[in-house]
Chain A
Amino acid sequence: MAFDEIVSLMFRKILIANRGEIACRVIATARRMGIATVAIYSDADAQARHVSLADEAWPIGPAPARQSYLVIERVLNAARRSGAEAIHPGYGFLSENADFAEACAAAKIVFIGPPASSIRAMGSKAAAKALMEASGVPLVPGYHGDNQSLATLTQAAAEIGYPVLIKASAGGGGKGMRIVEQAADLPALLEGAQREARASFGDDRVLIEKYLTRPRHIEIQVFGDSHGNMVHLFERDCSIQRRHQKVLEEAPAPGMDPERRREMGEAACAAARAVGYVGAGTVEFIAEGDGFYFMEMNTRLQVEHPVTEMITGQDLVEWQFRVAAGESLPCDQDALRITGHAIEARVYAEDPARDFLPSIGALVHLRQPADAPDVRVDTGVREGDQITQFYDPMIAKLIVHGADRAAAVRRLAAALRDYEVVGVQTNLSLLRGVAAHSEFAGGLIDTGFIGRHPEILQPADAGAQAQNCVLVATSLTVLARQHAANLKAAPASDPDSPWNADDCWRLNSDGYQDIVLRAGGDETKLRVHPVGNLYRIDLAGASLHASLTGDDAATWLSLDGVRHRLCVVPHGDAFTVIIDGRNHTVSAVDRLAPPRTETAGDDRLTAPIPARVTRVLVKVGDVVRKGAALLVLEAMKMELTLYAPINGTIATVRHRVDDMVQEGAELITFETEAAEPDGTARIKEKS
């Protein structure tokens, strides 16, 4: 059959069955190798970066992934019709779907990944662990049985000893995962884990493991080819996590000695061989002290693969292409060396202060560190793009390299300072907090790092000087915008009109304008006097001389002669001033703005995020106490329970299960009980 003869030839055209940064990253290597690329896109991604980078792009359906990126037939259709010879699945979506791998084979399209059998073997965590145990790979004590009865699971947990961890057998990425501190908590947490597992993977089976208290997450990158070769490309330490999601990954692992590296590498290769592995895979271990235990194998390219690329000088996607095309591995184990140290930081649109709730919205302003040999930014978005509720809210991966770990940490901190994102909340301050932390610098990391240092979730107070810069820069921006608006409305459109002066000119006196800015809950009045090319600004009892100048490259605020580099980004009614890498959001108070009527108050519950309603726990007329659970939303595959903000009676319930709601949408209103001055309570109509 001709197909078998051509597999040893490099592909001419491939389809990338993914989106976002990984699609862009795969396209980059394909382009470098002269392989034509086909992108696919959902309705939400028609203007996405990966679409614009590919040689051609095919629509595959509506925004929800279940109706587009996860629909095997649509992806294959696009591949067939575009003439793609192979499909790179990226990570997530169909990348670890054995049915998809088989469907590709049936369609005579190469699946750039392991055989379906390997995926299946590693797909069920319980079965995978049994296999690993048989292959001599060390395991965390645990229960991986098929009997999922509460009694069996309870007994298993007791035998392992608390604390234990419940995980979805079919899962990954922290979905359906629960830590159980004591036996009494098990039933409730189990139910949640099962529900999440069902929602995420369509499979509610779980396994139970010993929960290690200061564990590190160390994984080994392995690569096999179809000629029986298998190498490992050393380890990655992914211990800096939050809610079981990786935040910072690095290679090599701090404190790793060569002997242990060799042991772990061999164990990983053994694990891969046990399932007949071909292609790129990652064997994840949990490590504590000298022990390391197999956790799972990810049968795909990992999000954090770039750190391995940075220290080995290899392009893993190129390796994937070569192996999938039937070639042997580009090099053997002895040829692989570690050079320097690499760290990856995942920049997410999420709010660390609000329990990492995804932050949806437009990237009004996006400046990323410039690409350089030792700084790499893998991203799937551009300024102006939307972070939607449909997909992972990752903005980019920032990867830095240094001669040693200390140099890499310094470079990371510097690159993070150059990162500017306005429009969505980000985890940048968290990343900066970690990068600047002395324990991190000392390599004292484990998966509890962020939990142990909650202070890095909250940015430190900016100094008075920075506050002044923020207020003054905003006020001068307000003036400039106001002047532009005035010119637009200028009488008789006379460009030379004396009215067009923006100096607040007053006859026989100093003109000035009061600008009131609101930052957080505080309002500050600035009295701004134009004085020649400068402005004199009265602020909190002091008088400052300021000017704001700028070009495309930077904006400079001169404050009493001291120049500060910053960036002012207007968006909606607000301004975000970025100074020293920190975002400060300020709004100008318009005293003439109509009073806002649609505010979320105690008498109503609004959606904190665009989401789907999964459960409605109350009905009209129910009397609820403050703190009672009312409604469950699901967004980005995360459950979010909303609670009653006050005591009251449910007046309206606006949505039903499966409704999609936008951020700020009113969900439930209350009639509240208000205590009257005379001490009697009455029901007050408030909605």
Chain B
Amino acid sequence: MVRLPNQVNPSSAAYQENYAHHHALATEFRERQRIARFERPLRDMQRLARQSKLFVRDRLAALLDPGTPFLELSSLAGNDAYGGEAPCAGQVSGIGIVAGHEVIIHADDASVKGGAWYPLSVKKIVRTLDIAIENRLPVVHLCDSAGGFLPLQAELFPDRMHAGRIFRNQSILSRMGVPQVAIVLGHCTAGGAYIPALSDYNVIVAGTGAIFLGGPPLVKAATGEDVGVEELGGAAMHSSVSGTADYAAASELHALALARDIVGSWPKPGKTALDRTEPEPPDYDVDELYGILPKDPRVQFDMRDVVARLVDGSRFHEYQPDYGTTMLCGFARLWGWRIGILANNGVLFNDSALKGAHFIQLCDKQRIPLLFLQNITGFMVGKDYERRGITKDGAKMIMAVAGASVPKFTVVVNASFGAGTYGMAGRAFDSRLMFAWPNSQVGVMGAEQAANVLTDIKVKQMTRDGRALGAAALEAIRSPILADYRRQSSAYHATSELWDDGMLDPVDTRNAIAIGLSAALNAPIEESRFGVFRL
């Protein structure tokens, strides 16, 4: 592997303009995320204090091994929904270290509508448990939810991937032998009651924790029975009478200490062994990523400059350097692990698609995890390309991506448009983790292009009706379409909808992928059944 050459000139005007633009984007993103994570209305925090409850962030700080990293996922989930009422979708999800064990944490945030589950909350929990299943990560549940958000129950209760999936996933985890512990820090009512019930271990906090299928008001309404919370489902009852809870804790901190003890007692299954050396940081300053990304998303840039700021020693072994050059393929090490990188240096032509499919198979055969760096506007269109079979070549790449059993990671660096998104391990292709940079866009096509198409359709309808349109009228039609499309294809909207596992400040990409890799190696890698087809 050779150290990639430096192609960046930080004193150039273009670099500085890019840097200012992207640094500002990152700053804005971090601020929005800080607000979502930490800022809550005073009255909600006061209510928690009255209830002797800790803010979910303080619970996490106490739960995690002090000083250790924490990879929080989807912390801007729900940012573009429910009028901004549900920061982080009322959930904290992330991979961290508890008592020396790599675990994934799902925590209700009772400072957001009493921890009520919105549809995106459910989506986030289900995704958290999917990550647990895919990576065989033990789970710590911090349960403190008022239950499903009733006005939107139709969007969170009935469907295949709705709330029932949480309990299904918990059961699957148990079947796989992946342990879970639930800490009951508030009321776990109705469906919520199954989270502690389906966990291998659970701890309930005396006084604030309760578990019941129906709370006292519902019981009263249903049967006329008058019963208090403690008697119906309090810590003492469940830990000494029903056996629904394993341990009664005197306080939240006591419960967290017990949970840490429990996690510490779990076995540590070995990890899948992969080619590994001692990690080293990139040779180039990662901060330069801000200046490498063009301010105008339509301007092409060389992905080698991005790779050089992510991988160990900025070293890269490029595969087929002279073939299908819009598809950059090659090997590198990230935090010591050998990985295969696929990155877009332009539109996917036939040869680039075939090269990508071939490289994916090669890595899969050699058990090398894959990192996809997306800046993809799509497969090439046109008569020549269709005649050369661009559709079937694209299908090969999609087939290879879907079939690869090595861990895959996807980062949307800039554009993620069209069928190219699929070939580059888009959301539907089960990357272990998928992230997006703040400037990135996701959509069936680019915003300008889409706005033009939509405007054209509208204009054609109007022209059929015999109306002629001036430039101003055209702009009046196009402008709102463009604005709406831009919003929907923005990284903020994508992450709000959990189309990814979170946004990344570019400088944090390396650490996020490293932790993802470490987590992924808890699961075995299936053997690929075919040899490597030279396509």
Give A residues with C-beta under 8 Å from B.
479, 482-483, 486, 488-492, 494, 496-499, 501-509, 511, 513-514, 591-595
Contacts and interface: CB of A to CB of B under 8 A. Distances in A.
Given A491-B97, A491-B268, A509-B33, A502 B102 contact: no
B126 to A, nearest CB: 21
A619 B324 CA distance: 96
Contacts of A490: 100
A591 B72 contact: no
A151 B71 CA distance: 86
What 5 A-B pairs come out closest when comparing CB atoms? A489-B100, A505-B69, A498-B514, A592-B257, A508-B505
B407 to A, nearest CB: 14
Nearest to A528: B67
B183 to A, nearest CB: 13
Contacts of A497: 518
Given A486-B97, A507-B70, 6 more contacts: A486-B68, A492-B271, A496-B278, A505-B69, A508-B505, A592-B260
Contacts of B253: 591-592
A491 B70 CA distance: 14
Contacts of B503: 508
Given A486-B65, A491-B102, A508 B508 contact: yes
Contacts of B68: 486, 499, 501-502, 504
B101 interface: yes
B336 A507 contact: no
Given A491-B268, A502-B67, A592-B257, A508 B30 contact: yes
B97 A505 contact: no
A304 to B, nearest CB: 51
Contacts of B505: 508
Given A486-B97, A509-B34, A592-B257, A496 B335 contact: yes
B51 interface: no
A482 B102 CA distance: 17
Nearest to A505: B69
A490 B65 CA distance: 10
Contact of A507 (B65, B276, B508, B517): B508
A513 B518 contact: no
Q: Is the interface of B mostly helix, strand, loop or mixed?
A: mixed
B66 A509 contact: no
A507 B72 contact: yes
A305 to B, nearest CB: 54
Interface in B471-530: 502-505, 508, 511-512, 514-515, 517-518
A559 B240 CA distance: 54
A479 B504 CA distance: 27
A595 B253 CA distance: 10
A505 B30 CA distance: 14
Interface in B272-289: 276, 278-279
Contact of A498 (B257, B504, B515): B515
B456 to A, nearest CB: 39
12 contacts: A479-B67, A482-B66, A491-B268, A496-B276, A496-B335, A497-B518, A498-B279, A499-B515, A503-B69, A507-B504, A508-B29, A594-B257
B69 A499 contact: yes
Q: Name, among A498, A502, A503, A594, the residue most crowded by chain B CB atoms within 10 Å (CB to CB).
A: A498
A490 B260 CA distance: 14
Contacts of B37: 509
Contacts of B512: 507
A513 B70 CA distance: 12
Contacts of A595: 250, 254
B453 interface: no
B101 to A, nearest CB: 6
A614 B37 CA distance: 63
A504 B508 CA distance: 13
B61 interface: yes
B260 A492 contact: no
B97 A499 contact: yes
Contacts of A504: 67-69
A176 B69 CA distance: 64
A10 B508 CA distance: 80
A417 B421 CA distance: 70
A513 B69 CA distance: 11
Nearest to B250: A595
B435 to A, nearest CB: 9
B347 interface: no
B48 interface: no
B125 interface: no
A497 B271 CA distance: 12
A514 B503 CA distance: 26
B325 to A, nearest CB: 32
B454 interface: no
Nearest to B94: A507
Nearest to B76: A508
Given A491-B101, A592-B62, A592-B253, A506 B270 contact: no
A592 B67 CA distance: 15
B268 A498 contact: no
Given A479-B67, A499-B518, A502-B68, A508 B511 contact: no
Contacts of B260: 592
B508 A498 contact: no
B256 interface: yes
A499 B517 CA distance: 11
A511 B66 contact: no
Given A507-B512, A592-B256, A498 B335 contact: yes
Nearest to A507: B72
Q: Name, among B69, B97, B279, B508, the residue most crowded by chain A CB atoms within 10 Å (CB to CB).
A: B69
Interface string B60-99: 0110011111111001000000000000000000100101
Nearest to A490: B100
A508 B33 contact: yes
A177 to B, nearest CB: 53
Contacts of B336: 496
B67 A513 contact: yes
Contacts of B29: 508
B224 to A, nearest CB: 38
